[in-house]
Structure formats: C-alpha cells, structure tokens
Amino acid sequence: MFDIIPLPYLFVFLFPRTAPYYLQGTIDAPLVTGVHFPNNVFQLLTPATSQAIHTEFTPHRSYKAQWNFNIQRQLNRSLALTVGYIGSVGVHLANSIYDNNQVAPERVQFINNHYVLPVPAAGQAIQKTTPFFGQIRSLDWRGHSAYHSLQTNLVQRPMRGLSYQIAYTYSKSIDNGTAAIADNESLNSIGGPWAYCERCNRGRSDFDLTHNMVLNFQYDVPVFAAVKSSAIANTILGGWQLGGIYTLQNGGLFNLKIAGDQARTGSTIVAAAQGGQRPDWLAANPGCSDPTTGNIARYVKTECFQFTAPGVLGNLGRDVFRMPVFRTWTFRSSRTRTYGASASRRSCASKCSTSSTTPI
C-alpha cells in the first residue's frame, strides 16, 4: 500500500485558466452573428458565460493497494509453469469533471431505471447550480479503481536448441474515469453524462484487456555432421537461428454518445471529447444483446439504440463494446559467425500484422 501524492500537473491546467485572469467562455451559437465573429466575440463574454474552476478544499488521502500470489511448478528439468493472481485497488483518486455547473441532484428523479431531469419551458434557461458562471471545471478526489487478473506463464528453457515462452493474462480493470485531469492515450474515452452521477461512468477502464496472450520462441537450427565437416557448407548453412513473437488480445473499447444536451443537464461540453451523454440500449430486442456485427463496414447495429426523450439520460454504460481482435506476428532469422575469438551476428527481421473481426 502506498500514497498517491497530488502532483503539480493536477493544477497547472486549472488555476491559470479561470476568470478574470484567463478569458474563456461558452456562448450558444444563435448569439454569435457575422457582426461578432471572429474579432468581436469577446464582447459577448460575461460572468455568466465565463469559465471558473473548483477544487476540493480538503481532499481525502489518496492511496493504492496492491497484492499478488503465485505458484510455480517445475514440470520437468526444462519446463516450468507459473500461475498467479494479481490485484490492486485505488481509493480517493484524482477525478476531473470538465463542467460541474449542471442541474442539481435535488431536481432530478430516478424513474424506470433512468435519471429524469426537468425540461425548461420554451425560452427558459436550464436551472444550473451556479447560474452566475458558465463552465466550471472541477477537480476532486472521488475516483476509484479496481484490478484483478489471473496470470499464467509457461517457460521452456533451451532444450535441443528450442526455447519458448507462453504468457496469458485474464483480467478486468474497473474505474469511474481513467483520465485524471486531461485526455489520455485512448481516443475512445468518454466523460460522464451528468456531473452528479458517479455510477453513470463506472465501467471498464479505457485500457482494459480481458484476454492477452503473448508467445515467443527461439530455435537454433541444427547442423548435420556432414555440413560441419565442410568449411564451405558450414559457412553457408551453419549458425542460423529462427525466432518469433505472436500476440493475441482483445480489441480496445469504444463508446457511443449523443453530441447534444438531450437530457437537459446544462452541460457545455456535450459535443466535446469529454462529453458523455449516451442513447438507450435496447438490449432486450431480438439480436441486440450484442449490437456489434463484426463487419467493419457496419460494425454497430444502429437499430439496437434509440434517442431518449428530452430530459432523460440514456441507459448505455461506459466502455461496453469492443473493437475486433488484434493479432500480430513477428518473425526473425539471424546468423552467427565466429572469427577467431570474437563473434559477430548479422540478422534480418520481418514483421506481419493482421487483425480479425471475430471477438473472443
């Protein structure tokens, strides 16, 4: 168990970007006309449209615990098998909400497994928690993560010129947001649909891989005695090695989202990468329990989803669907030649990568 110390990177993107020191705001499209764009848009910025920040004043202690257990068995003098369990949990992790100025929880109902928000009358603004500002970026320590895995490793030590290793991991990683403060390496990441619903964004981590197998081998090509006895033949055919690496793993996770404020949360980032409003998944409909087809030209069955009514959050979770299986194969051939007491190696390598649309 160890502490996770809050580092400066958590704050450098927040404090310098708040009014009045930094003018940034969100303005609805109808207010922007040709008279204002592009040079006079700043005239439309008011305190009610400006961006502010919020940071948890007394954050909880952030920590992570890790544990593991493994058993190794020597199957014979050159073959060994290791089976282990590895787990971890992160508590009070840094979590960023890109717009915390949305409809307050006391004005929201939970009906038929859906969050239902009030729909303002025509011409009326959505009632946010702080109507005096526009976007409020929030940093708190409500993040949580959990990881569990079964890891196996079979190792064949060199035996008659052949050595190989097979490693397989069956795992699951869950959190309520993989990125702490900015976008992460996953372009398919998605934010929460409503700032005050933590469980709405609880799901598989953006980097989660249920299945991951890697196989590698190396083989010293044998040389017959007749070849060794001939200097010319041994020069051409002797000293060769073959090797390769084969990788098989799940495809990455992806999300479906609505690029508008269908639920009337008041969020200003629904169309951005951090927006997270989602449709309804009609999982009970025939053929919709798995809405992916495996056909890259039409990978998702659109008939398995529908827009929610205005003011209703969709039931689709985060990081539910996967891309096709990913396979890679790398082959290497090398040759070792000895000159006196020293040895030099010359090698050539080729790599071939393929992908499959059949999930595992």
Percent of the chain with pLDDT over 90: 47
E-assigned strands of 176-295?
Answer: 203-204, 211-220, 240-249, 253-254, 280-281
> Quick one: tokens of 79?
């073959």
Q: For residue 174, how far is the Cα from the chain centroid?
A: 10
**Which helix (H) or strand (E) segment is 342 a member of?**
strand 342-355
**Predicted pLDDT at 339:** 57
Residue 302 pLDDT > 70 = yes
Binned at pLDDT 50, 70 and 90, residue 26 comes out as low
**Which helix (H) or strand (E) segment is 63 a member of?**
strand 63-74
> Quick one: tokens of 121?
């009358």
**Predicted pLDDT at 287:** 92
Binned at pLDDT 50, 70 and 90, residue 27 comes out as low
Say if CB 162 and CB 78 are below 8 A apart: no
pLDDT tens digits for range 162-221? 999 999 999 999 999 887 766 666 667 788 899 999 889 999 999 999 999 999 999 988
**Which helix (H) or strand (E) segment is 321 a member of?**
strand 321-322
Rank 47-56, 84-93, 183-192, 224-233 by mean pLDDT and report only the highest.
84-93
How far apart are the C-alpha atoms of 124 and 131, rounded to whole Å? 13
The pTM assigned to this predicted structure is 0.81
167 pairs with which residues across the strands?
Answer: 153, 214
